């Protein structure tokens, strides 16, 4: 079989690398057959790695050829507790035996528990559970516009978002995503969205008007290249929102749930947003998201304004509850603080050795290194060497390991990356 060009597109490299890519793809007959079968029916909206993953344990994943991979991507920051956590799996099995789904016309004990835990962790009053981060952002946008309308400002519909920000692929979420290539193919999107520059508070001030209803910002930009908000910038947004009765929406989908060393990254700045969107780590691989609102904003939506058939069902809610229980029992937050410092020092040390690394940035176990050339070939080589890494843009390698990572895992990753970057 001839390797098709669509696989090689992932690395964006020349033909000699394509041949190498094909060799790796054809390394196992079983894996090749699986991939051929998948490509017959999968809508090609992802450029996938040429690997068929089969199972996982702790920090490691295994493919159908039983090759072992150290995972420093965690399902794009989702598998907070790694793979095969017996306590989590048991809880999920027990909930499946009891109740998977009922409509939101009824209360369930798992849902009551989950919203209480999310409200306490965020410092908010009310919570809506969705199925994904993008849906959480959709709900936050609707709430912001309805909040202004309920206060008598029918023309207060403008949203301010950040260049290079990422908030999801649904129509509302992509409308506030600050990369034109994500937006342009689907225009016209929702209107009255304006983009400021991340970490430039003056650019935000220039856009604020009497028609602004909300400012949405990631505390740490993920897809945009792992950029953490500066303190002056985030405090400045909070001040602008307070003075102009604007809702501040913190997108914590990727940087939240312990990843930066606190439950939510905005805690590090001593601020409280009006709305928080979250997903990924709150479910440890179960598809679930949520948005939480403070007392100021909690009456923005009323019965009938928003909903979700599957949102907050007993199964997803049980996942949230068990994740919080394990976090507390194992003191995951303290562990992330320790390991975040260790990973930071390890990447700084590597950066000093390698000329190709221009900058290391990030917080906790959400880190990135910007290189002077495209990182696609490095990601592929890492995969060959048994290390899963992902990019954040063309020139950034992103590090989002499960939050259970230990020093030996960081050392193993650095050893492989050191060899690859040579």
Domains of the chain plus CATH, in order, are 1-34 (no CATH), 88-330 (3.40.640.10), 333-356+387-403+410-422 (no CATH)
Q: Residue 29: what pLDDT?
A: 72
pLDDT at 420 over 80: yes
Which residues lie closer than 8 Å to 82 by C-beta, 6 or more apart? 56, 58, 59, 71, 74, 402, 404
pLDDT at 21 over 90: no
Distance in angstroms (rounded) separating the CA atoms of residues 245 and 296: 10
Count of CA atoms in the C-beta half-sphere (13 A) of 331 = 5
Look up residue 380 and give its two tokens. Answer: 């592929």
Distance of CA 193 to the CA centre of its chain: 22
pLDDT at 95 over 80: yes
pLDDT at 3 over 60: no
Q: Tens digit of pLDDT for each residue in 364-406?
A: 999 999 999 999 999 999 999 999 999 999 999 999 999 999 9
What letter would DSSP give residue 359? Answer: E
Q: Tens digit of pLDDT for each residue in 266-320?
A: 999 999 999 999 999 999 999 999 999 999 999 999 999 999 999 999 999 999 9
Distance of CA 361 to the CA centre of its chain: 17
Q: Tens digit of pLDDT for each residue in 190-242?
A: 999 999 999 999 999 999 999 999 999 999 999 999 999 999 999 999 999 99
Average of pLDDT values for 20-35?
Answer: 63
The closest of 397, 338, 332, 327 to 362, measured between CA atoms, is 397
Distance in angstroms (rounded) separating the CA atoms of residues 226 and 318: 31
Q: Residue 31: what pLDDT?
A: 82
Q: At 99, is the pLDDT very low, low, confident or very high (cuts 50, 70, 90)? A: very high
Q: Strand 275-278 and strand 212-218: pairing? A: unpaired
Give one DSSP letter per residue of 320-355, joined into a string.
HHHHHHHHHHHTHHHHHHHHHHHHHHHHHHHHHH-T
Distance in angstroms (rounded) separating the CA atoms of residues 103 and 109: 13
Look up residue 316 and give its two tokens. Answer: 């997803």
Q: Residue 358: what pLDDT?
A: 98
Q: Is the dihedral of CA 11, 15, 20, 24 positive or negative?
A: positive
Q: Residue 379: what pLDDT?
A: 97
Average of pLDDT values for 125-145?
Answer: 98
Matching residue, tokens 């060959």: 384
Q: Residue 159: what pLDDT?
A: 98
Q: Residue 386: what pLDDT?
A: 97
Q: What is the SS3 assignment for 130?
A: strand
Q: Residue 192: what pLDDT?
A: 97
Q: In sequence order, what are the beta bridge partners of 390?
A: 398
Q: In sequence order, what are the beta bridge partners of 286?
A: none
Distance in angstroms (rounded) separating the CA atoms of residues 194 and 212: 10
Q: Tens digit of pLDDT for each residue in 57-92?
A: 999 999 999 999 999 999 999 999 999 999 999 999
Q: At 32, is the pLDDT very low, low, confident or very high (cuts 50, 70, 90)? A: confident
Matching residue, tokens 């194992």: 330
Q: Tens digit of pLDDT for each residue in 326-352?
A: 999 999 999 999 999 999 999 999 999
Which residues lie closer than 8 Å to 299 by C-beta, 6 or more apart? 150
Average of pLDDT values for 235-258?
Answer: 98
Angle at 283 between CA 61 and CA 165, to 5 degrees: 90
Q: At 26, is the pLDDT very low, low, confident or very high (cuts 50, 70, 90)? A: very low
Note the pTM of the prediction, 2 decimals. 0.92
Q: Residue 422: what pLDDT?
A: 83
Count of CA atoms in the C-beta half-sphere (13 A) of 115 = 18
pLDDT at 9 over 60: no
Cα 238 to Cα 77, 86, 159, 308, distances in angstroms: 27, 41, 15, 30
Q: Residue 30: what pLDDT?
A: 74
Q: Residue 13: what pLDDT?
A: 41
The closest of 295, 239, 309 to 269, measured between CA atoms, is 239
Share in percent of the chain as helix, strand, coil (round to 5): 45, 20, 40
Matching residue, tokens 């939480």: 292
């Amino acid at each position: 079989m001839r390797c098709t060009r669509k696989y090689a597109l992932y690395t964006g490299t020349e033909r000699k690398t394509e041949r190498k890519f094909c060799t790796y793809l054809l390394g196992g007959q079983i894996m090749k057959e699986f991939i051929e079968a998948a490509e017959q029916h999968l809508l090609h909206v992802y450029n996938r790695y040429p690997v068929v993953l089969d199972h996982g344990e702790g920090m490691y994943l295994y493919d159908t050829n039983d090759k072992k991979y150290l995972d420093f991507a965690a399902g794009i920051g989702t598998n907070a507790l790694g793979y095969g956590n017996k306590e989590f799996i048991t809880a999920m099995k027990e909930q499946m035996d009891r109740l998977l789904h009922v409509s939101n016309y009824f209360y369930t004990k798992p849902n009551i528990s989950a919203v209480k835990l999310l409200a306490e962790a965020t410092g908010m009053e009310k919570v809506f559970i969705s199925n994904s981060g993008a849906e959480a952002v959709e709900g936050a946008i609707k709430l912001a516009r309805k909040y202004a309308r309920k206060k008598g400002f029918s023309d207060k519909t403008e949203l301010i978002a950040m260049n290079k920000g990422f908030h999801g692929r649904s129509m509302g979420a992509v409308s506030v995503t600050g990369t034109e290539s994500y937006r342009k193919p689907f225009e016209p999107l929702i209107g009255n969205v304006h983009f400021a520059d991340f970490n430039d508070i003056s650019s935000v001030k220039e856009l604020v008007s009497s028609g602004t209803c909300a400012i949405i910002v990631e505390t740490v930009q993920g897809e945009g290249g792992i950029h953490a908000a500066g303190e002056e910038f985030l405090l400045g947004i909070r001040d602008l929102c307070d003075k102009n009765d604007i809702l501040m929406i913190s997108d914590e989908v990727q940087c939240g749930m312990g990843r930066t060393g606190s439950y939510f990254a905005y805690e590090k700045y001593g601020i409280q947003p009006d709305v928080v969107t979250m997903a990924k780590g709150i479910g440890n691989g179960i598809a679930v998201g949520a948005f939480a609102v403070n007392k100021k904003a909690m009456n923005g939506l009323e019965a009938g304004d928003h909903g979700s058939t599957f949102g907050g069902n007993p199964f997803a809610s049980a996942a949230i509850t068990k994740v919080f229980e394990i976090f507390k029992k194992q003191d995951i937050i303290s562990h992330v603080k320790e390991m975040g410092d260790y990973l930071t020092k390890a990447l700084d040390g590597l950066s000093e050795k390698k000329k190709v690394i221009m900058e290391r940035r990030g917080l906790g176990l959400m880190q990135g290194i910007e290189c002077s050339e495209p990182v696609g070939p490095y990601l592929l080589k890492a995969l060959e060497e048994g290390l899963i890494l992902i990019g954040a843009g063309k020139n950034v390698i992103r590090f989002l390991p499960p939050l259970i990572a230990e020093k030996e895992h960081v050392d193993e990753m650095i050893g492989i990356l050191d060899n690859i970057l040579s």
